Chain A
Amino acid sequence: QVQLQEWGPGLVKPSQTLSLTCTVSGGSISSGGYYWSWIRQHPEKGLEWIGYIYYSGNTYYSPSLESRVIMSVDTSKNLFSLKLNSVTAADTAVYYCARTGLLTGYRFDFWGQGALVTVSS
């Protein structure tokens, strides 16, 4: 059973960079066939896909966020990371990492428990 867990600072100041890491256990990021996504959920609101990364380092980002997003992967540590720069209060949200099956219907089948990130001075 694949498990994902997000970790990183829970408080970020406006204009600074939000950084989160997702550790994957129970499966190898390098096994292929899956992209590794970041998804966020604003308080009391819906879900927003941020982007995903393949183990090779290929990335695809949401057009609405791509100017501020960088994702990376460390296959030796079986983890992937998110950086979102120039944050504002509008970036306050719960951030989830999730496995995305490309050969299995573009589904988000395993999720982390979520990490609340608050942007405030």
Chain B
Amino acid sequence: QSALTQPPSASGSPGQSVTISCTGTSNDVGGYNYVSWYQQHPGKAPKLIIYEVNKRPSGVPDRFSGSKSGNTASLTVSGLQGEDEADYFCNSYVSRNNFVFGTGTKVTVL
């Protein structure tokens, strides 16, 4: 199972928006609405920010939103803040109880 493809980096100024793509296949992203996104600050564990493509857990700001079209999922961070500078990983359920993560994207707030 190959990792989902994400751009290595993305950046934006405070207050701007940044969108990160996560491309898979019809066997993972395109086949299930079980795409989740995780934020990871240096030296910390990943934190769930989006699940089931576009749902936010309690406590996650509505600046974070998710979507999906075909085999590509996307995470948008609106109104960028300094604390949003982190690595972001997507994840998708794959058939027969298997999961695949994305390659990760480093978001820089300029």
A contact residues vs B (CB 8 Å cutoff): 45-49, 52, 60, 62-64, 96, 104-109, 111-114
Contacts and interface: CB of A to CB of B under 8 A. Distances in A.
B46 A105 contact: no
Interface string B69-89: 000000000000000000001
14 contacts: A45-B104, A46-B89, A47-B91, A49-B91, A60-B96, A60-B98, A106-B34, A106-B99, A107-B52, A107-B57, A109-B51, A111-B45, A113-B44, A114-B45
Contacts, number: 63
Contacts of B47: 111
Interface residues of B, number: 26
Contacts of A112: 45
Contact of B98 (A47, A49, A111): A49
A112 to B, nearest CB: 7
Contact of A105 (B51, B101, B103, B104): B51
Contacts of B96: 60
A113 B46 CA distance: 9
B34 A105 contact: yes
B48 interface: yes
A70 to B, nearest CB: 16
